[in-house]
Amino acid sequence: MPDTTLLNSSVKIAALELRIELEAVAAEQRLAGQPHTGSATLGEFGGSEIGVWEMTPGAMSDVEADEIFVVLFGAGTVEFEETGETVLLAPGDVMRLRAGQRTVWTITQTLRKVYFA
């Protein structure tokens, strides 16, 4: 796990190579496969937490925090239960999530994102 003060200095963080410890998704959230998730908090900026999150293939439900993220690698979808809208995710995509949204993440290739929450 990186030193969470790194982003408060002039040090580069290689988000693509960052080692993230993954844990199995809790049974009550797991919808398909055997997905694992993990994150590393990198620091804070303007009152927002900045970190890196990863999920392996499978599907899980979640309730979102207020967040903006950028996909670094991987592929999948995020479905919004309230509207039924499904958004494809690929490297370079930037997306906004709003606190309280109920989602289903279906990951087909291990996905990593940098988030601001």
Distance between CA 108 and CA 71 in Å, rounded? 14
**Cβ(117)–Cβ(96) under 8 Å?**
no
**Per-residue pLDDT for 3 more than 50?**
no
pTM across the whole model: 0.89
Mean of the pLDDT values across residues 79-94? Answer: 97
The pLDDT confidence band at residue 44, using thresholds 50, 70 and 90, is confident
The residue written with tokens 């003060």 in the block is: 5
14: phi then psi, degrees, rounded to nearest 5? -85, 85
Q: What is the CA radius of gyration of the chain?
A: 14
What is 6-116's CATH number? 2.60.120.10
Residue 4 pLDDT: 47
